[in-house]
C-alpha cells in the first residue's frame, strides 16, 4: 500500500520546531518503500513574523537540503513545496513565493485567524474552551477564503481548531458544507492529515463526516503525515488509506511542478 502513496506534508529544522533534515526523512521513506516524499516547510514571510518558520534568507538552504536528499536517495521521488499560511490581505506574497522556485506544490493552511491569533497554539487553549463557536465560525470563513483564493494545490488539516479536543456542540457539518462546496467549485484537493491522531483530539484531520461530504462532491484528496520528525514520515498511512477507501476514494494525487496526476490506492 505505501508504494502507492505520497507524503507531501513534512517539515525540516528550518521551521525551528521540527527535527530531522530532508536526508533523514528520506532515509525513513526509502526504508518504508513509500511512493514519494515531499517537503512543505512553513513559508517564509517578507519580514520576521513569528518564531516557527524559516526566514526568507533561508530559502536557498531549504532547497539545497532537499537536493541533498535527492542526491543521496536517487531511487526515491522527492518533491519540494511549501506549507503557506493563508492570511487575508497577504495573497500577493503567496504569488511572489510561487515564483521564487520551481515548486511541485504549494499547500494552503489557516493557522492565523483574521484577528491575528493562532488557532492551534497551546497558549490559547482557554479561548477554545470559552468560545469554540466563535472560533470555528471565524476559522471556517477564513478556510473558505483560502480555498477560493485558488493559490494552492491542496489545503491542509481542514478542521484544525479541534486540535485540543474542543469542538462546538451539535452536528458539525454546518461548518464543513461551505468548505466542501468551495473545494468542489475550485476543484481544490484537501488532505487527510494523520497528525490529528497524535494530538489531544485523537482523530485525523478532517473528521469522517467531512471526508464523506467531500467524496460525495467529487473532491480529490491526498494523505499527509505533517511529520515534524523522521519517525513520523507516513505515520498512520495504512489507517488513513483504509479510511479513504471506506469513504469511497480509490485514488490520491501526485504533484509535479504544480501539475496533478491521480494514482490508485493499492
Binding site for Zn ion (CB under 5 A): 83, 109, 226
The three-point CA angle 140-214-254 to 5° equals 100
- Supply the minimum distance, in Å, between the C-beta of residue 250 and Zn ion: 26
- Supply the minimum distance, in Å, between the C-beta of residue 216 and Zn ion: 26
- Supply the minimum distance, in Å, between the C-beta of residue 111 and Zn ion: 6
Which lies closer to Zn ion via its Cβ, residue 83 or residue 159?
Answer: 83
Which lies closer to Zn ion via its Cβ, residue 72 or residue 88?
Answer: 88
Contact 65, 21 (CB under 8 A): yes
Q: Measure the CA–CA gap between 7 and 33, rounded to whole angstroms.
A: 12
- Supply the minimum distance, in Å, between the C-beta of residue 128 and Zn ion: 17
Grid coordinates given for 246: 471506506
- Supply the minimum distance, in Å, between the C-beta of residue 74 and Zn ion: 26
Closest alpha carbon to 161 in 143, 186, 179, 180: 143
Which lies closer to Zn ion via its Cβ, residue 36 or residue 226?
Answer: 226
Contact 62, 14 (CB under 8 A): yes
Torsion angle of the four alpha carbons 265, 42, 111, 187, in this order, in degrees rounded to the nearest 10: -40
Contact 69, 78 (CB under 8 A): yes
Closest alpha carbon to 152 in 218, 92, 225, 86: 86
**Cell numbers 467531500: residue:** 214
Where residue 257 falls (left for φ over 0; alpha for ψ -120 to 50; beta otherwise) is left
Contact 45, 56 (CB under 8 A): yes
Which lies closer to Zn ion via its Cβ, residue 159 or residue 226?
Answer: 226
**Cell numbers 527535527: residue:** 19
Which lies closer to Zn ion via its Cβ, residue 24 or residue 83?
Answer: 83
Which lies closer to Zn ion via its Cβ, residue 109 or residue 194?
Answer: 109
- Supply the minimum distance, in Å, between the C-beta of residue 248 and Zn ion: 26
Contact 16, 52 (CB under 8 A): yes
- Supply the minimum distance, in Å, between the C-beta of residue 85 and Zn ion: 8
Which lies closer to Zn ion via its Cβ, residue 58 or residue 185?
Answer: 58
Amino acid at each position: 500500500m505505501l508504494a502507492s502513496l505520497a507524503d507531501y506534508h513534512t517539515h525540516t529544522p528550518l521551521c525551528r520546531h521540527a527535527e530531522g533534515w530532508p536526508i533523514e526523512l528520506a532515509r525513513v521513506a526509502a526504508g518504508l518503500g513509500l511512493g514519494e516524499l515531499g517537503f512543505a516547510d512553513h513559508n517564509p514571510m517578507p519580514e520576521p513574523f513569528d518564531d516557527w518558520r524559516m526566514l526568507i534568507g533561508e530559502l536557498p538552504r531549504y532547497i539545497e537540503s532537499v537536493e541533498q536528499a535527492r542526491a543521496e536517495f536517487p531511487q526515491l521521488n522527492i518533491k519540494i513545496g511549501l506549507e503557506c499560511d493563508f492570511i487575508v490581505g497577504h495573497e500577493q506574497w503567496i504569488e511572489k513565493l510561487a515564483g521564487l522556485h520551481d515548486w511541485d506544490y504549494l499547500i494552503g493552511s489557516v493557522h492565523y485567524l483574521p484577528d491575528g491569533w493562532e488557532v492551534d497554539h497551546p497558549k490559547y487553549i482557554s479561548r477554545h474552551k470559552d468560545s469554540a463557536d466563535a472560533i470555528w465560525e471565524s476559522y471556517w470563513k477564513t478556510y473558505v477564503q483560502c480555498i477560493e483564493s485558488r493559490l494552492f494545490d491542496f489545503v491542509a488539516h481542514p478542521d484544525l481548531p479541534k486540535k485540543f479536543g474542543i469542538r462546538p456542540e451539535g452536528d458539525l457539518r454546518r461548518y464543513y458544507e461551505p468548505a466542501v462546496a468551495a473545494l468542489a467549485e475550485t476543484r481544490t484537493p484537501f488532505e487527510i492529515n494523520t497528525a490529528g491522531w497524535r494530538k489531544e483530539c485523537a482523530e485525523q484531520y478532517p473528521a469522517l463526516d467531512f471526508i464523506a461530504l467531500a467524496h460525495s462532491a467529487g473532491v480529490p484528496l491526498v494523505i499527509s503525515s505533517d511529520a515534524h520528525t523522521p519517525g513520523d514520515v507516513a505515520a498512520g498511512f495504512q489507517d488513513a488509506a483504509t479510511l479513504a477507501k471506506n469513504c469511497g476514494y480509490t485514488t490520491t494525487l501526485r504533484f509535479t511542478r504544480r501539475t496533478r496526476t491521480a494514482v490508485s490506492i493499492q
